[in-house]
Amino acid sequence: MSIKVAISQKPPVLLDLEASMARALETIEEAANSGANIVVFPEAYLPGYPTWIWRLSPGKDMALGNTIHAKLRENSVDIQAGDLDPLCEAARQHKMVVVIGMNERDSTYSGTTLYNTLVVIGTDGQILNHHRKMMPTNPERMVWGMGDASGLKVVETPYGRLGALICWENYMPLARYALFSQDIDIYIAPTWDSGEVWISSMHHIAREGGCWVLSTATAMTGSDIPDDFPDRDSLFDQDEWINPGDAVIIKPFGGVHAGPLHQEKEILFAEIDLEDARRSRKALDVSGHYNRPDIFNLEVDRGSKPPIKFIDDCE
């Protein structure tokens, strides 16, 4: 089965959820007009990856960091409140699968904690999977809480079986194996990482898992930082490339199929054949014939981990 995929590395409007949502809808429209069946956005696209955390000085810039974080919280996504409804409707109208990263605010329990979240929206507009990054990386832990494994799933779509891990989760061998063992066709790796080392990891995953690998970061320059970003000029140079994007598609068993799209604020399009993934696993199937379950055993707890359980009277 041949399908067309679109990987966007266009930048959002940092810290502005409404404007970033509008850009996402424009991208979906553009992808649909080009005949895409699946569209993929980068890590934390709504309303942008918190790149400032790698530039703040611990202690010295704490007040500035708190100011920026408050604005991020105010512009984060509340799924329970219907913030994703416009994207779900666009996916339904265009009969597309939409994979998008976001800063998600937990409105069910704390009302305050943010998560690095990725959702897969199906062609009927329903959210097929909701995955929170299990381990934020280094200073990301000052921004996001740790998710559980309830979203560590591969989901069925009309365009193949999709699974995803976020950024450095892709360096967690057991997390990768959990996806490989669910009959995966397309492995999606939204990220903030880029460059040769990251792309070489995508080659490894494609070979290891026998699946298509789609990856992208956000292509962003200093000029993309809005004028009202707190203390913008002290943190960013208007002429710098903050991230080159490097959207790429890797063939099952390795080899570049399309991209990388380097320092271009565009969409990478390509046709892929899902059957190529299944054929590639004839030689190496790490959750099948090239495995020793009599020696190795992996147990994954995908139960949700709420912080509290209330027991109310039934009277």
Q: Look at residue 187 in the predicted model and tell me its pLDDT.
A: 98
Active site residues: 43, 133, 167
CB atoms within 10 A of CB 80: 12
226 closest CA partner among 217, 235, 215: 235
Please tell me whether the overall predicted TM-score, pTM, comes out greater than 0.85 for this model.
Answer: yes
At residue 79, the 3 state secondary structure works out as helix
What is d(CA 12, CA 43) in angstroms, rounded to the nearest whole number? 11
CB-based contact 246:259 (threshold 8 Å): yes
User: H-type helices in 125-268, by residue range?
Assistant: 173-180, 195-209, 232-235
Q: Look at residue 312 in the predicted model and tell me its pLDDT.
A: 86
pLDDT in tens, the chain (315 residues): 899 999 999 999 999 999 999 999 999 999 999 999 999 999 999 999 999 999 998 777 889 999 999 999 999 999 999 999 999 999 999 999 999 999 999 999 999 999 999 999 999 999 999 999 999 999 999 999 999 999 999 999 999 999 999 999 999 999 999 999 999 999 999 999 999 999 999 999 999 999 999 999 999 999 999 999 999 999 999 999 999 999 999 999 999 999 999 999 999 999 999 999 999 999 999 999 999 999 999 999 999 999 998 888 765
Q: What is the pLDDT of residues 32-53, one digit of tens each?
A: 999 999 999 999 999 999 999 9
User: H-type helices in 2-130, by residue range?
Assistant: 17-33, 62-74, 85-94
Q: Look at residue 253 in the predicted model and tell me its pLDDT.
A: 94
Q: Look at residue 174 in the predicted model and tell me its pLDDT.
A: 97
Q: Look at residue 99 in the predicted model and tell me its pLDDT.
A: 98
Tell whether the torsion through CA atoms of 66, 67, 71 and 72 is positive or negative. Answer: negative
Q: Look at residue 97 in the predicted model and tell me its pLDDT.
A: 98
Domains and CATH numbers, the chain: 2-280 (3.60.110.10)
Q: Look at residue 57 in the predicted model and tell me its pLDDT.
A: 84
Q: Look at residue 213 in the predicted model and tell me its pLDDT.
A: 98
Q: Look at residue 61 in the predicted model and tell me its pLDDT.
A: 87
Q: Look at residue 314 in the predicted model and tell me its pLDDT.
A: 64
CB-based contact 201:171 (threshold 8 Å): yes
Place of tokens 């409707």: 89
Total residues belonging to the chain: 315
